[in-house]
Amino acid sequence: MKFVFSLLFSIVFTGVLAGIYLFHAWHLPVQVIFYSAMEDALVATIVTAALVFTLRRRLPFGGFERFLLVLVWLLAGYGFAISGPAVLDRSLSFYILEKLQQRGGGIREDAISQVFVNEYLPEFRLVDVRLTEQLQSGTIEIVNGCVRLTDWGQRLASFSHFTRTHLLARHRLLAGVYTDALVDPLAHGAQGPQGYECH
């Protein structure tokens, strides 16, 4: 009986999350896709938990079981946010598929990098999107036209670099060859002052 009620309320949670997400996406301002989807998941969890709490005398759940259900819904909401809207918003892989479809099903391989620079960046307003995300996350600040890391941004960049160089795959398939080129990609990029730095 507990399983049936757990499943039933999880279906309710899913429906509530879908409704809240769609309403938010279609009618309300969104600053960062992932954060917005997480807010939707939190609201859906609160609504469903309130329903369970209201009906608690009629349901076979103890307090700890209700807590576990809420925890499962929060994790499911996080999974939705990170695997659904955030992936679609950030995915270069989906962009390639959509661009191939738009161009009649095929693009010359030697022109793909040109498509990224000349079409992907402006069509998806990639610079604006990523700067907005970083500003909202508190990892950067823009002062007199200079984009600078905050202390939080410094810590996050160091964590990212450590994770990339120590924990990512060292034998990754890229263009038919297994390589470690993306373990520390900045080490292979432009070195020294480039003329665009500011302080």
- Give the count of domains, the chain: 3
Q: Is position 56 within any domain?
A: yes
User: For the chain, where are the alpha helices, taking DSSP H only?
Assistant: 2-27, 33-54, 63-83, 85-90, 92-102, 112-115, 121-123, 126-137, 151-167
3-state secondary structure of 178: strand
3-state secondary structure of 91: coil
Residues 58, 37, single domain; the answer is yes
Residue 116 DSSP label? I
Average pLDDT over residues 83-112: 89
Q: Is position 194 within any domain?
A: no
pTM for the full predicted model: 0.72
Using 50, 70 and 90 to split pLDDT, how confident is the model at 191? confident
Residues 19, 63, single domain; the answer is yes
Residues 82, 100, single domain; the answer is no
For the segment 137-160, what is each residue's pLDDT rounded down to a tens digit? Answer: 999 999 999 999 999 999 999 999
Q: Is position 113 within any domain?
A: yes
Residues 153, 80, single domain; the answer is no
CB proximity list for 112: less than 8 A, separation 6 or greater: 96
Q: Is position 199 within any domain?
A: no
Cβ neighbours, 10 Å, residue 80? 20
How do beta strands 140-143 and 146-149 pair? antiparallel
Residues 15, 76, single domain; the answer is yes
Residues 149, 82, single domain; the answer is no
Domain that holds residue 165: 138-186
For the segment 23-81, what is each residue's pLDDT rounded down to a tens digit? Answer: 999 999 988 888 999 999 999 999 999 999 998 888 898 889 999 999 999 999 999 99
Give the Cα separation of 192 and 169 in Å (integer).
27
Q: Is position 125 within any domain?
A: yes
Inter-residue contact 52 to 61 (CB < 8 Å)? yes
Q: Is position 196 within any domain?
A: no
Cβ neighbours, 10 Å, residue 64? 8
Strand partners, 62: none
Inter-residue contact 154 to 170 (CB < 8 Å)? no
Residues 70, 149, single domain; the answer is no
